[in-house]
Structure 1
């Protein structure tokens, strides 16, 4: 099973133009695997801090999901809460006053102290710093002749692991080539020509980039030979034929009567990552489920999961989603950063006359789910685990995702890295 997810986040600050650009490019390639307990480790991180960070990120994820869903009610959605939150948190390091306060509240950050906020993100970055599956990299490009304020630079360099490099944005073709080359290297050449040269000019001051690259294999792969066309029910009346994947395996499953839904966890190999699928019991129950999820922490779902023999049906699907997040941020109470009242005075050592403000936030995501392996996945040297030949006398529990559902890619702390819904295929 192969899954590819690409995600770009772009925030543009102007003074007359300060460019803050963040790119998130995860790539998921799923296939056979072993155990999920061999993550390159969260052991040195305070588990209480990680749990609080994850809880707040999960809350932000559900609030952002509801907002995006209200803006695009009839579309499939895929986005990265972690990307959006970390992107805005990097900008928060240079904010003051009500601009900072709104970001603290709207992003549900762990503190109103910049040092503590940065430390909370560093805990996540440090947990995966040596991972062979997830690669997260940050980079700051600053206009030649300008300097970052020491506190801002220190927080981004030490906690967000984001070193600074001087570049002449006036030579926009050369500058764009330098930045795009770095992005390509950090995303295994999956993101090319991220920044058009026309987006850079002599007024550009700062570019911050966050690149994330993820490759994971299913612990229990779906066999391509088991995939066959079946009906996916768009509602009670309409259905379409889609390639439906099949799997029978012992997996973590939960019946959720309070949500009128069930949940299934599909783990990724050699990591603590998994996909959590929440499936309404009714073909038309997704909207009701989404409302209930607003007040249901994800860890309240994952703590109910238990191992049972499950008969899984999951459609192959592909979703692409792009949205300008200004309206979503406004709805979540983060308005100052876009206005003339924005205060990003803690970014540059010698602020120029005028005010910095965010002009737009662009978020783009793409996810593809199918059974195929890839050259990159094969190069990881992962060894498939043979399927058990044990024959159970117990009838497997059905989990048939043949109608709209929600999904989340999380780690064992329920930190939400990606979230979305499949509404139509």
Structure 2
């Protein structure tokens, strides 16, 4: 396992160096890195049990490995001709490699959020938290930077290389026409700490945002400003994330992170089929909830590691889907959560086959807000809350640290979609018995695409 991780890390860092060098056409660097990267890729491909189609780099003639598994050097002119093509190929590959790192962050964040929240229903956005903290990483030096680099599972030698994945993701990935994904990330810095121009230039280029100075002493105005910014960025789907009494003059740096998702099912549920059905709450018994019903053709299967069954429900005209993981034991959610680190949510259904199933899924809506300071400290991110060196963000001076990391997430699941595309239960043939996936007890869910987990959460209680 350690050898596998080191090979992945080494290859990914070399490819990142190539991409950075290729962007600026630094003399000699691009050829050097693409040669080293493809040589490392050859070792990785032979060592790792990975889909070859996801790893192969081909030129326009269909030749395997543009630079060759022989490790030959690519000429500058040939690299220029294939630059755009290589960027797409390599980013697909980087997405695959980055996913394994980010997924560890996902399972750990959910576990910590559940631990530090007393609420039954929890939802967090690992992708959004990771991106927000990557912005903090760009501004710190020393042990705090090393800690973030490690715990966020970043790769690359320089800061620019380490966060390059976020620029690339923003550049080529989008959720698609059937899904609405609104993300708001911003660092608010106390007004007496001027933000360095070089810092804002970097985060603007990489993350498409800025750090902003604000007077926390005027808590009413500061809260209004922060909430208005978040509401605007989320089209007023999230209108408030801070309250005036939560802001004071001791605040130094506030990381605000808000995300909203709404998607239309590829195969919508017909509202006429929704009825009142039992949902079992451990220790309390059944409660009546609005249960949607449908016959759908989706990825469905069993995961023995989690002692559960899972189904992946795609959203219309989108590469995003909802993964629902249902413990086989109605009381099995705590065990499932403990074992979540053993699986990769991004690839959990890769061995599943599409199958027509009878699906019973409850309607639910979750609004969840959490101060992430303690969960992040429990994950090993501690120095940014103590006395870090923020000299890459602001001029050196008095003690400067992260005061709070806040996240608010909203999700709603219902029948919404094109009614014309729906099939009513009256038209369902039951001559051949179909597998049934009945979500009538606590479950875990994730909203994801092939590279990122946007949300992960659990539902314990419905009413």
> Which residue matches 2:388?
342
Q: Is 1:215 matched up with 2:251?
A: no
Kindly indicate whether the alpha-carbon contact (under 8 Å) linking 2:183 and 2:234 is maintained by their aligned counterparts in 1.
no
Kindly indicate whether the alpha-carbon contact (under 8 Å) linking 2:268 and 2:416 is maintained by their aligned counterparts in 1.
no
- Residues 141 and 383 (structure 1 numbering): CA distance in 2 closer, same or farther, change over 3 Å? farther
Kindly indicate whether the alpha-carbon contact (under 8 Å) linking 2:99 and 2:346 is maintained by their aligned counterparts in 1.
no
Please report how far the alpha carbon of residue 306 of structure 1 lies from its aligned counterpart in structure 2 after TM superposition. 1.4
Please report how far the alpha carbon of residue 385 of structure 1 lies from its aligned counterpart in structure 2 after TM superposition. 3.3
Kindly indicate whether the alpha-carbon contact (under 8 Å) linking 1:94 and 1:152 is maintained by their aligned counterparts in 2.
yes
| Deviations, residues 66-124 of structure 1 (Å, cap 9, x unaligned) | 22233347722111111221121111110111111111222222346321232111222
Q: More deviation in 142-151 or 42-51?
A: 142-151
Scaled by the length of structure 2, the TM-score of the pair is: 0.71
| Deviations, residues 12-64 of structure 1 (Å, cap 9, x unaligned) | xxxxxxxxxxxxxxxxxxxxxxxxxxxxxx95771121122222221101011
Query: How many residues are aligned here?
Result: 372
1:26-425 equivalent positions in 2, closer than 5 A: 46-72=91-117, 75-111=120-156, 113-128=158-173, 132=177, 133-136=180-183, 138=185, 147-163=194-210, 177-196=224-243, 212-235=259-282, 238-339=285-386, 341-348=387-394, 350-351=395-396, 353-371=397-415, 385=421, 387=423, 391=429, 394-413=432-451, 415-425=452-462
Kindly indicate whether the alpha-carbon contact (under 8 Å) linking 2:190 and 2:251 is maintained by their aligned counterparts in 1.
yes
- Residues 143 and 363 (structure 1 numbering): CA distance in 2 closer, same or farther, change over 3 Å? closer
Kindly indicate whether the alpha-carbon contact (under 8 Å) linking 1:101 and 1:112 is maintained by their aligned counterparts in 2.
no
1:363 and 1:181 map into 2 onto residues whose CA distance is 15
| Deviations, residues 355-408 of structure 1 (Å, cap 9, x unaligned) | 2112232333333322357xxxxxxxx795354978575321111111111100
Kindly indicate whether the alpha-carbon contact (under 8 Å) linking 2:369 and 2:408 is maintained by their aligned counterparts in 1.
yes
1:139 and 1:170 map into 2 onto residues whose CA distance is 19
- Residues 142 and 403 (structure 1 numbering): CA distance in 2 closer, same or farther, change over 3 Å? closer
> Which residue matches 2:63?
none
- Residues 164 and 285 (structure 1 numbering): CA distance in 2 closer, same or farther, change over 3 Å? closer
2:459 and 2:125 map into 1 onto residues whose CA distance is 15
1:323 and 1:50 map into 2 onto residues whose CA distance is 28
Structure with greater helix percent:
2
> Which residue matches 2:22?
none
Kindly indicate whether the alpha-carbon contact (under 8 Å) linking 1:245 and 1:313 is maintained by their aligned counterparts in 2.
yes
1:390 and 1:225 map into 2 onto residues whose CA distance is 14
- Residues 197 and 140 (structure 1 numbering): CA distance in 2 closer, same or farther, change over 3 Å? same
Please report how far the alpha carbon of residue 197 of structure 1 lies from its aligned counterpart in structure 2 after TM superposition. 5.5
| Deviations, residues 308-327 of structure 1 (Å, cap 9, x unaligned) | 00110111223343332222
2:305 and 2:243 map into 1 onto residues whose CA distance is 49
2:333 and 2:392 map into 1 onto residues whose CA distance is 43
- Residues 103 and 368 (structure 1 numbering): CA distance in 2 closer, same or farther, change over 3 Å? same
**Structure with the greater alpha carbon radius of gyration:** 2
Kindly indicate whether the alpha-carbon contact (under 8 Å) linking 1:409 and 1:419 is maintained by their aligned counterparts in 2.
yes
Scaled by the length of structure 1, the TM-score of the pair is: 0.76
Higher relative contact order (CA 8 A, sep 6+): 1
**How much is the aligned-residue C-alpha RMSD, in angstroms?**
3.2
Q: More deviation in 323-332 or 58-67?
A: 323-332
* Structure 2 alignment gaps of length 5 or more: 1-86
2:190 and 2:340 map into 1 onto residues whose CA distance is 44
| Deviations, residues 262-281 of structure 1 (Å, cap 9, x unaligned) | 11011111110010011111
SS at match of 2:149: helix
1:291 and 1:169 map into 2 onto residues whose CA distance is 39
1:70 and 1:330 map into 2 onto residues whose CA distance is 12
| Deviations, residues 320-367 of structure 1 (Å, cap 9, x unaligned) | 43332222122111111111x32222101x33x212112232333333
Kindly indicate whether the alpha-carbon contact (under 8 Å) linking 2:144 and 2:384 is maintained by their aligned counterparts in 1.
yes
Kindly indicate whether the alpha-carbon contact (under 8 Å) linking 1:45 and 1:127 is maintained by their aligned counterparts in 2.
no
